[in-house]
Chain A
Amino acid sequence: MNQVPDINGRFGKFGGRYVPETLMNALLELEEAYKHYSKDPEFIAELNYLLNQYSGRPTSLYYAERLSKHLGGAKIYLKREDLNHTGAHKINNTLGQGLLAKRMGKTKIIAETGAGQHGVASATVAALLGMECKVFMGEEDTKRQELNVFRMKLLGAEVVPVMSGTRTLKDACNETLRYWVSHVEDTYYILGSVTGPHPYPMIVRDFQRIIGDEAREQIQKEAGRLPDYVVAAVGGGSNAIGIFYPFVNDESVKLIGVEAAGSGIDTEEHAATMTKGRHGVFQGSLSYVLQDEYGQVLPAHSISAGLDYPGIGPEHAYLKDTGRADYFPITDAEALEALQLLSRTEGIIPALESSHAIAQVMKLAPTLDSDQTIVVSLSGRGDKDVQSIMGYLGGTANESH
């Protein structure tokens, strides 16, 4: 099942390159460069050096004993991507793409961001590699994630608030692509998720698979066998693909993606692309999309700016339609409860995105036996969310849209 994508960038029927002709050359160039450098021993060595010495990999696989006991049932292991430099898994990809940009002779990088984690990770890598950086962020999200906006500025990046459309992640993606079309000659676009046109879903997966490669080895060392479940939150789906991919051929391992149900999947305020979306073309690829009957993309909603996206990476659509992975929705309220539970039982404040995965584990673990194991991707830490969580839990301002 690992032979995806094919040469046309297809995961089964999903994926492809649905972009204006003005971008095709840049995508083909990127694909060529990636093919070359991903096999170049010097490139690989430099990337591994930075992942280890700069970001602090490998991240640990931590047995959450108190959480496991509290829930009763399966043993829960947290893959601690929150311990990465900059606080989330996003740096795995930005280090890889940043080095690629540099090898390609580009001097400027651009990136889109929702929660700001990918923006911070891009700004960080730009500073590290001495490149100029512009981050496009929905105006709505710049308000929800003020702290990350400031972090990006401290790192020397320019944050461009996006005023078009719903002013959230999807519009930030549109605007980054539009900017890239005009500046393809000297600018590299570091796309932050496994979304967009080929080759991005493949490149980002390959740079994120280190999460799963490490976890697979660690759990076997720790528990003596493969896990029964691997659980991860999905917005665009990069941490989820990262941890799923190395387990795809392990048929006994169930893969569970957790998407944001916002106020509930029966309301109009959610980001449950798999549960409520249909096949469609959005931002460069064919996948599941939240859309109306006329093919207009619907605004998404989630308490988590990182999951607030009406699309999902095409490889997830493929995993869903082939039955290899299952996807479940978790509401804002459930995520907040999970966030508090993990904070109190383990002393770990998870990001709102990762809290969705924890919330699914709260449902799943009690249904399993104590000799079964769940590996969950703790994709990021909650520091960036503390201010808005304070708003929700304290009943004061800073509301999500």
Chain B
Amino acid sequence: MNHIDAVFQELREEGETALIPFITVGDPDLGTSVEIIQALEQAGAHMIELGVPYSDPLADGPVIQRASERALKHNVTLIDCIQTAENARQAGVKLPFILFSYYNPVLQFGLERFFSLIVEKGISGLIIPDLPIEEDGEVRAKAEEANIHLIPLVAPTSHDRVTHIASKARGFVYCVSSLGVTGERSDFHKGIEAFLSAVREATTTPIAVGFGISSREQVERFEGQADGVIVGSAIVRKIEEMVPLLQSPATKQEGLEGIRAFVSALRG
């Protein structure tokens, strides 16, 4: 059984909602990313999205763009990000890993090589934000073969497409809570409840909500309606705040503690 399915099954039995943090790997550096992943696990995260930094992150707002730029300053590559999953595993992290990458780095690496490497390094899921269902045939087939869950995005504007997308989803369906790019916001799409119900009706696969969730109140709001809540920019912003602390050995623990405390508070 895929690790992601196992976690959702367990949470379902306990009546809990998955907390799924996102980080940009290599922000501020690869070694610290492993420690941040450990901190996220300690804070109660249930699975982790590992973001591959990219030069042109179309779906992302300024916070994640800046994180990408910081990571790319020391040339963090797709392979580094995948290796980070293994390093975290060796450091004792038990959570499932979901790799989040724009398509071009994956395409340039080569799909065959890519899937064998992520299987080898213990990654369970894959999100490619610029690969809509019209374009994902080859990737989906290879992912199925490798037992990697290709997690699709659905948006409030997906309308008739929801059923089709949800029917092909593996792991969970990533429901985009609002129009726009990633980033914290106070309001969600006005039809969010109806949208989530529509996705729920279309599939038995778990559904998770993301884009713009940054506080305990917002997490709570979706706990009843979704099986998982994804928090990205808010955590990346917290990491950004902690960068000065993380970069000095004397204050590193304090920085990690700041991230841990923030994520614990999201869980309530």
Knowing A18-B130, A184-B157 are in contact, say whether A178-B135 is a contact too (CB < 8 A): no
* Contacting residues of chain B (149-181) with chain A, CB-CB under 8 angstroms: 152-155, 157-159, 161, 165, 176, 179-181
- By a beta-carbon cutoff of 8 Å, the part of chain A in contact with chain B is 8, 16-22, 24-26, 164-165, 170-171, 174, 177-178, 181-185, 278, 280-284, 289, 291, 293-298
**B59 contacts the other chain (CB 8 A):** yes
Asked whether any CB of chain A lies closer than 8 Å to the CB of B58, the reply is: yes
- In the complex where A18-B130, A165-B56, A282-B104 touch, is A294 in contact with B157 (Cβ < 8 A)? no
* Chain B residue at minimal CB-CB distance from A19: B130
B43-67 CB contacts (< 8 Å) to partner A:
54-59, 61-62, 65
Shortest C-beta distance, B237 to chain A (Å), equals 16
**A residues within 8 A CB of B180?**
22, 178, 181-182
CA distance A284 to B54 in the complex (A): 15
Whether A295 lies near B58 (C-beta < 8 A) is no
Question: Could you tell me the distance between the alpha carbons of A293 and B56 in the complex, rounded to whole angstroms?
Answer: 15
Q: Can you give 20 A-B contacts (C-beta < 8 A)?
A: A8-B134, A20-B132, A20-B153, A21-B153, A21-B155, A21-B176, A22-B155, A22-B176, A24-B161, A164-B65, A165-B56, A174-B57, A183-B179, A184-B179, A281-B103, A284-B130, A289-B104, A295-B104, A296-B105, A298-B55
Tell me if B157 and A26 are in contact (CB < 8 A). Answer: yes
Q: Are A294 and B161 in touch, CB under 8 angstroms?
A: no
Given A174-B58, A182-B181, A295-B78, CB of A25 within 8 Å of CB of B107: no
Asked whether any CB of chain A lies closer than 8 Å to the CB of B226, the reply is: no
The interface bits of chain B over 179-193 (1 if a CB of A lies within 8 angstroms of the residue's CB, else 0) are: 111000000000000
Shortest CB distance B135–A (Å): 5
Interface size range on B against A: 35 or more
Q: Are B176 and A177 in contact (CB under 8 A)?
A: no
Secondary structure of the B side of the interface? loop
Contacts of A284 in B (CB 8 A): 130
Contacting A at CB under 8 A, from B207-222, are none
What residues on B are CB-neighbors of A182 within 8 Å? Answer: 179-181
Q: Which residues of B contact A26 (CB under 8 A)?
A: 157
**Contact partner, B56, options A19, A24, A278, A297, Cβ 8 Å:** A297
Given contacts A174-B56, A181-B180, 4 further A-B pairs with CB under 8 A are A24-B155, A178-B180, A185-B179, A282-B56
